Structure formats: structure tokens, C-alpha cells
Structure 1
Amino acid sequence: MNKRKNILKIAIDSPAAAGAGTLAKTISKHYNLFYLDTGKIYRLVAYLKIKFPKKFNQNFIKKKIKSLKVKDLENKDLLSDEVGTEASIISKVKSTRKIVHSFQLNFAYNPPKKFKGSCLDGRDITYNIVPDADLKFFITANLKTRAHRRYKELKSLNKNITYEEVLKSIKKRDKSDYNRKISPLKKTKDSVLLNTSKLTKRACFLKIKKIIDRKINT
């Protein structure tokens, strides 16, 4: 695979609803980086499995991933609790991960030329997808804060769900993400830890901006 030279690569890992996606989007916009929410790809595969159960197989996944556009990941149906739970299961399937992995690599190392680099967030970005990233972050928050954030997000989309259901779902997601045998969620030694539990979106961005600026200006 050809790789663009002299680009800025930022890798972010986090558990569900820790605020990594919002932060990554803000970082990407500020530094003109190509942003990819890798978890959304697994959510898309999960959504396809739910919507097209009879057609769903590896060839079907390959075809859909090959024609995938970033805008396809903005489908609000991908945020449902059902899709999230299914995505956590699907992400354990080795053959599916292999298909998604190649897609992620291409976006990380070959962002469109109008961008100065790439910013990816997910569960195994810092050590599996972009191990040579210029900057690595592990974004987290306490369980109740994450559940409250996801609950507000889902309610804003008019989803009929309770806070207790969201809390239970995120506990289940955490157990799956941290304990799966293939590419589990973990903080690498070279990742900067940021707990967003008591921070505003602006405060989170300013903390990370300071670290990035120090890196790119040295």
C-alpha cells in the first residue's frame, strides 16, 4: 500500500460515549485532517446484518465496504442501541475485521490530498490500525457520565429508550470491548490519557490542542 508522506496522523481509542468522536471531529476540522469514526464502520455492518439478514455474508460485506463513502456513516439509524450491541458482536469476527482493517488503513495513510493528514478514532487505532501515529490519545469518562451522554444523544433522535437501558448497554459494550480476544480496547503506554467526565467539549479540545501544537511545532 502506498502511503502519503509528511502527513499528520492522530490515533484515538476510547470506550463507548466517552466523547472521542466529538473531540476527533473538532480536532480534524481545526487541523484540516481527514476524519474517520472507525466504530461507525462496524455499526454499518451491524445495520446491514439487521436490515438484510438473508443477504448477509462475507461477499455482501466486501461489496458494501468497497463502495463505502464517509457520508454513509452519517446514517442516524447507526446510533441505535440494537445496532451498537450487534456491532460489538460483529467486531469480534476475524474475517469481518480483516475486511474493515484494509479500509481503515487506506483512509489513515492515504487521506485525500486536500487534507493535511488523518484522525481516526475507535477501539484499536493506537496499536493496530495506526501504530506509528504522530499522536495517540486514550479518551475516557466514568460509566454514568457516558451513559447520560448517550441517553441524551438518543433522546435527541427521538429514540424510545430509558437511561437504565442505555447504562446496561454500555456496561455490556465495555465488557465486550475490553475482553474480546481480537484487538481489545486498551490504553497503550505511548497514549495520552484524557478523562472527560468533568470537562466541557471546549476544555477537552483545548487540552488536546496544547499537546498537538507542542508536537507539531517542535
Structure 2
Amino acid sequence: MSDDVLNKEMLDYQLMKAEEYENTLDILHPEDVIKQEKAFLFRSSKLALVVGHSARSPGAKGCPPISRHEYHWNQFLAKIIKDIATAKGINCEIFYRDGIGILGAYQEVNDWKADACVELHFNAYNGQVVGSEVLYGSSNIFSKKLAEDFQEMLVRVYSREGVANRGIKHCKAGVDRGGENVNQLVNIPSCLIEPYFGDAQSDAKKAKKYINVLADSIIAVYLNFIKKA
């Protein structure tokens, strides 16, 4: 095994353990729960957005011009997506892990009976790596197709070529980073998107420049997906 492969496996293991710690911390603080806004249940099309991490454990810190942790940046992104969805007549709700952890957040998504679910994150490594990737699991047979559609969109929005197109990654619960997140929903297609590396300045600049394009494109992918599903 090469040093690069070994280092990557060690990093993935450390990140998975960090996620387990964050999730436990969230569950131990039920006072952090964020109450959901009343859903417009008369609308038939439902997109669920899960904001990655929590206020107590906000995830990776982005460099300027992001200058925020994943949790706070993706809260902002989620609200833009929801505004666009509402304008298009789509019922879109934002779900949080605060106070209830990963399982609690996805139970709320399941109870809401969403048509599809996307968890919002961004990557970070050493300030040099850039790229886009999408994680998916095996709990729903349509999740892989959803992940493929989102990755195709991210490649287009951020002009990814070569290794910067990091592709889609199948994740197992309890084994892979993000595996617990993307294997919660049996009846709802879901995926986790990592559009850019927030600690790399070139990607951080793209994140800010194209935030509205990304939000609009997420809605477009969702609409196209549910038409075909």
C-alpha cells in the first residue's frame, strides 16, 4: 500500500470518528433542537435539505471569502435554495441535526415523507486540494441515480476536469465517512453533496461566486429527477 493511499485511509478513519463524536455531542444536547417551520402539506412535491453538522460542532472552516464553518455557510445556502423552491411551487424544508443527531434529523425527513433529500456540506483538506463529489448509500435503489445527477451538475457549475471531478462515492454505514448519513432513508432517495473544498481559496471563491447558481441548479436537478423517478 502506497503512503498516499495509507494517509488517505487514515484521514478517512479520523474523519469518520470525528463525525461519530459530533453526532454523540448533538444527541446529548436536546436543548439545541431547532423547531421546523410549518410545512405546506398541500403541495405534492417535497425536497428535504439537511444542513450538515450543528451549531455545537460546525464542521470544517472555510477560508475567505467563505470565512465560515460548514454549518453556518450551508444554513445560508439552504435558505437560498428554499426561497427558489418556494417561488417554483416546491415544498422545501430545512432539517437540522442540532440536539437530535443524524438519526433524529433523518427520522424527521422520513416522517415528512420527502420525495428526495440532499445533505449539504463542503470538503476541507490541506488548502490545496479542490474538487466536487457526491456520497450515496444503498438504503434506496434510486439514491445512486440522484447522486449521479448531482455530480453531473456540480462538474458543470464548477468546470471540474480531471481529478477535480471526484465522482460519486458509495458509502457504507459505520465504515465510510458519511455512510451513516446516506443510509438512513429506505423510501426516499438521498445523497450528500460536497461541491467544493472550502479551505482552498480558488474553490472558496467559486463557492461564493456561484452560490445562487448552485442553489438554482439543485432545484433543477431535483425537478428533473422526480419527473423521471
Q: TM-score range by the shorter chain?
A: 0.3 to 0.5
Q: TM-score, normalised by structure 2?
A: 0.34
- Using CA pairs under 8 Å that are at least 6 residues apart, name the structure with larger relative contact order, 1 or 2: 1
Q: TM-score, normalised by structure 1?
A: 0.35
Of Structure 1 and Structure 2, the greater helix share is in 1
